[in-house]
Amino acid sequence: MLKRDHQLVLPTQARAPGFRVELRGTTFRLIATGAWTVAEAVRLDTALKRLRVPIPPTPDFTGEMDIAGIAEIDTAGAWLLQRTANAWQASGLRTHYAGATEAFRVLIEEVQRRGNIERPKLEKPNPLTQFGEDMTKTVTSVWRDAVQLTAFLGEVTAALGRMIRQPWRFRRTSFVHHLDHAGFRAVPIIALICFLIGAVVMQQGVVQLKPFGAEPFAVNMVAILALREVGILLTAIMVAGRSGSAFTAEIGSMKMREEIDAMRTLGIDPMDTLVLPRVLALVVALPLLTFIGDIMGLAGGGLMAFVVLGLDTTNYLDKLHEAVDYLHFMAGMIKAPFAAVIIALVGCLEGLKVEGSAESLGKHVTSAVVKAIFLVIILDAVFAMFLSGIGV
């Protein structure tokens, strides 16, 4: 902001910006006063837009921007003046400034010079074609995702093969770190959730089966459900939300800060250092967590069986033995490593797809969780069909 006088502090009424237009002889004069600054720009803008551009009756009429009364001016004020001057100029008035200090003149000339540059047009697409394009993009992206994920699975398998031939390339510290974060630290929350769901299912089962006099079979239901479906699904979904998102965020922010490029140039393969330890850690951790989930689900059911059915521990365990066998347990457990691979692959792949902005990171973290959970459920369905096909 430029002031006419550096020492001057304006009283409030003198700050009020204003202007009037008068015709003297053959000169249209715009007499501007007060503070022409960005804070006053809205008021000035509306008033100036209401002002009609004078039409010169003969070509020898001129325009004058008298700014001797302006006490403060900044780029917004200068731009407003200049816009008016340009409009007058366009209507055939030769317009000049009067009463400008040296500093004011420099600013106004700068604004005049800068204001005339060509602007790039931002093309607004037709909403219908936009909709069509979005639709096509979304549909093709499903296919592209599938291809990318398959390719990534291939890359990880190849990296695993390399590592088996050269075992010293295995990143033990990183593996243990992820085992701790994705596995050990997830134990309390997964135990709690599975316990609660086991209890809820048992209680509901008893209530629903009572009219048929079949309430003892609630134990069979809970046992089969916990071992075959609930344990693995709940655990996998929790891990996808906890660790899949963390993988994407970690790798994504490294990608944003060019750390991954730095690794590549140092001859370090991000597959070895970042992806493999995470995938392997999850492949180890998820079955263990699933086992804990299974046991806690059964324990929750047991507590409810005691409360609503009056079954003590011995009876409950006997009933469990009758209801389920080793195959039921394995039918749930077999899915765990597959779910682990899916969650880790999706998490790492989405992380590697992050681009420069924070928004992109957020988008990929979200899509990692959504895709991982979706794929885990698909996997569960495929296994359900397969297992019933082979009669387990």
Please report, as ranges, the residues that interact with another protein according to CB under 8 A: 1-3, 6-7, 9, 37-39, 41-42, 45, 74-76, 79, 83, 103, 106-107, 109-111, 114-115, 117-120, 122, 355-359
CB 169 → another protein: shortest distance, Å?
A: 33
Rounded CA separation 100/227 (Å): 86
Residue closer to another protein (CB basis): 46 or 314: 46
Tokens read off for 45:
């803008």
Residue closer to another protein (CB basis): 60 or 118: 118
Q: Where are the alpha helices (DSSP H) in 25-101?
A: 41-50, 75-90
Q: Are 358 and 296 in contact (CB under 8 A)?
A: no
CB 34 → another protein: shortest distance, Å?
A: 16
Residue closer to another protein (CB basis): 106 or 307: 106
CB 12 → another protein: shortest distance, Å?
A: 14
**SS3 of the chain: helix, strand, coil, percent, to 5:** 75, 10, 20
Residue closer to another protein (CB basis): 56 or 362: 362
Q: Where are the alpha helices (DSSP H) in 166-242?
A: 172-178, 187-209, 217-225, 231-239
DSSP classification of residue 224 = H
CB 113 → another protein: shortest distance, Å?
A: 8
Alpha-carbon Rg for the chain, nearest whole angstrom, is 37
Per-residue DSSP letters for 335-368?
HHHHHHHHHHHHHHHHHHT--SSHHHHHHHHHHH
Q: Are 223 and 326 in contact (CB under 8 A)?
A: no
CB 46 → another protein: shortest distance, Å?
A: 9
CB 72 → another protein: shortest distance, Å?
A: 10
Q: Are 279 and 344 in contact (CB under 8 A)?
A: yes
Residue closer to another protein (CB basis): 111 or 309: 111
Residue closer to another protein (CB basis): 99 or 337: 99
